[in-house]
Every structure is written in C-alpha cells, then in structure tokens.
Amino acid sequence: MGTDDLFKKRREERKQRKYGYKQPKTNSFLIVTEGERTEPLYFQGIKKLIQDKIGGRVDVVEIDIHGQGCSTGKLIEMTDEIVSKSKFIYQNVWVLFDKDDFKDFDKAIEDGEERGYKIAWSNQSFEYWIYLHFNYSDSALHRDDWNAKLDDLFKKYQLGSGKYQKNYEDIYLMLDSFDGVNTAIKNAKRRRSDFRMGDKPSEFDPGTTVHLLVELLKSYLDE
C-alpha cells in the first residue's frame, strides 16, 4: 500500500471514530416490545428456531428482543435510546405495542414510522394475535375477553397447564404445534383486508399487524 493510500485510510478511520460511524449489520433485527413476558417469549421462540436452522452460516440472523413494559409513546423513546447506543445499525427495527387504554396509540405509530421504524400493533391486545392462531374473529372485544377465550382454547387443546398464561417459555412452539402460526397469518391478512386507507389503527378493533413481522422472520425458516 502506498503512502498516500495509507494516509487516506487512517484519515477515514479517524473520521469514522470522530462521528461515531456505525456499520450496518445485514440480517439484524431489533424487536422492542411493550409487553415484558408473552411478546418477548413468543419472538424468542422464533429466534431460537432460526438460529438452530442457520447454524454456522456467515449471514447469521441477529435478533435482539427487549421487553420494556411501558406506554406506547415511551416505547418509541426507549427504542431511540437502544438504537443510539447500539454498536451497529440494525437492518430491521420493529416496535410492538397494544392499544389497550393508551390514548397516544395513533400518535406513537406515526412517531415510530417517521423515524423509519416498523410498527406491529394490536388492537386491543397481543392476545388477539394469539387468538388468531386458532380462529378468525372480527368481534371488538376487551382484552380481558380475549384472555378468557384463550383460557377456553388452551383447555380445549390441552396446551400448557390447560390455561392461558403469559409466562410460557415455549409459547411459539405451543401455538405452532397445529400449524397455528400460518393460520394466524392467514386470519390477520383476512382481517387486515377490511382496513381502509385513512382508517386510524385505534378505530380498527379488532386488528393487528403482528403478522407482518412474523411472516418476515418465518421467511428464514421456510426458505
């Protein structure tokens, strides 16, 4: 390497250090969730399957999952903080949250999308997404009612302890034991087809876009 080339290389290295240059990381995912149990455990299940499949391949899929347990607007701020502190640039940044009773639901979605984040929302709750693994529904129900329906289904299909709980570590495999994940994606798309341009997510009850993230991750398993 000539003197001029060496000088240019060192100058570029100093420039990168000065401005905090971050290298984009291919096949990397940051998934930040509002929930601290069910959502992280669900996506940890997908992550493990992907890692088991790709083994020692060079383009290892990196999935970092953070369960924050905070309001929707605060969740966007927490995502900003995680992204800023990361040593590399995530190729895919997803934020998951429910409407529940938060009044900043639509605003949080707008703020996240403006930052370039992908939003996987559920109205009213993530439990609606889980319910879609079993059946289709367009009934606007309170999150407590979805939980009750899941209790009945877990008992009927003898899943877990026979009752829906938020701390099943194998929740993803449990729900996919009868091709439930593909069923949920199909049902979510069916429901999503009723979502019109201009509709507010807060008014689309029930509804979810979690399938967009799940389908993207499943592509690593189905290829």
Task: Note the pLDDT of residue 26.
Answer: 86
- The pLDDT tens digits of the residues spanning 88-134 come to 899 999 999 898 767 788 999 999 999 999 999 999 999 999 999 99
pLDDT at position 5: 62
> Which among 89, 67, 95, 70 has a CA at the least distance from the CA of 20?
89
Which tokens belong to 68?
Answer: 């924050």
Q: For 131-177, how does the pLDDT look when each residue is reduced to its tens digit (9 = 90+)?
A: 999 999 999 999 999 999 999 999 999 999 999 999 999 999 999 99
User: What does residue 186 show for φ and ψ, rounded to 5 degrees?
Assistant: -65, -45
- Percentage of the residues of the chain whose pLDDT score is greater than 90: 60
* Distances, alpha carbon 202 to alpha carbons 116, 205, 213, in Å: 20, 7, 19
pTM of the model as a whole: 0.85
Could you give the C-alpha distances from 210 to 17, 25, 96, 123, in angstroms and in order? 37, 23, 8, 11
Mean predicted confidence (pLDDT) in 65-87: 82
